[in-house]
Amino acid sequence: MSNHYEREGMKNYLVYDVGDEESAMEINMLLHCRPDWLPVPELRVLDGEYKLYYLVSGMKPFSIQCTEKKFNESELKLLLKGACEVIQDAEEYLLNPDDIVINPNYMFVAPTISRLKFLYFPGYGVALSEQVFVYVEKLMSYADTVDNETASLIYNLHNDICSEGPGLELLLRYANGEYEDRLGIGNAGIYSLPKSEPLLVAEPDIGSLYVSESRITSVIKGAKSILKPKKVKRLSAVEGIKLISLDGAYPDIYPGKSCIIGRYPETSDYAIDRPEISRLHARLFVKGEELFIEDLGSKNGVYINDKRLQKNKVIRLSEDDDVCIGGAWFRVQKG
């Protein structure tokens, strides 16, 4: 993904290299029916290459806003509602949800957080569930957790996402304040998660971007800091359920209450170092004596006994089921 800022007279643009003509046709649809959350787009052809110009004059990157203040409960709800509206509109506007960029560096305040602007990059291709997970972890660092109500919302949300996955219904519940304080933060006083040092996870072509009316900085291709996922208790092989590696190439998986499977140990409970594995690929979780698996919007999918599981769908696993996660094969065993 290649992008940069350009200034033309008094106007500032974020420019994205669209690529092929097929993607350009997708952008043309947006030009004729632009959703409210999208900055004004303009498609240009320069030297035979399609480029998408987003007008961002007078807008401040959300990542800059986050360095200037901490957000309270009401403001966090607005931020969640903004993301929910974008996700809901994706289907209505026939957009690929994985090409919507839910990243503070590419979100703009115009002029307040109640009117957030999001970008759409054809070919971006980062699973929406993965983006939402990281977005919520970012919000944890931006929240005013000294306030009990704010802390209750964001920590309970993070806890539920780790156990249930980052679904739209869950986000809407929290955006509307319809959630249960399972962690008891509101009654028990200030709550704090185990402290951990921020980790740098490489993200191609995404960096800290800043634009103002008088000055435009260059795009810094960098890395983003995210928090370590919450640690979960693992069941031992004697106590519960596990997945064994069929070829012995990987350690057995002990799901415990919930286990995120992905490519990097920094963002997963169980990491599989294969190019076919998405950063957040799948989630295993146990209810009662039953084991379930969910595809977290992975690119290369999850297969149960050679049948592909639909993205963001949950299925119950049975003993001796063969599970393929991005090319890595496991078998379910109980007891």
Contact 136, 158 (CB under 8 A): yes
Which of 94-108, 175-189, 193-207, 231-245 bottoms out in mean pLDDT, i.e. has the lowest? 193-207
| Confidence (pLDDT) at 153 | 92
| Confidence (pLDDT) at 234 | 35
Residues 6 or more apart from 264 whose CB is under 8 A from it? 201, 271, 279
Neighbours of 323 (CB within 10 A): 23
**Residue among 99, 109, 119, 176 nearest 142 (CA):** 109
Mean pLDDT, rounded, for 12-25: 76
59 vs 227: CA distance, rounded Å: 27
**Residue among 104, 133, 121, 108 nearest 30 (CA):** 121
Q: What are phi and psi of 272, to 5 degrees?
A: -120, 110
Which of 3-7, 64-68, 193-197 bottoms out in mean pLDDT, i.e. has the lowest? 193-197
80 vs 257: CA distance, rounded Å: 26
| Confidence (pLDDT) at 61 | 85
If you search the block for the tokens 């807008």, which residue do you land on? 59
Please state, in angstroms and as integers, the Cα–Cα distance from residue 184 to each residue in 130, 141, 176, 208, following that order. Answer: 27, 20, 19, 36
Residue 289 reports pLDDT greater than 90: no
**Residue among 213, 198, 216, 207 nearest 103 (CA):** 207
Q: What is the DSSP secondary-structure string of 211-238? A: B-SS-BPPP---EEEEPPPPP-PPPPTT
| Confidence (pLDDT) at 200 | 30
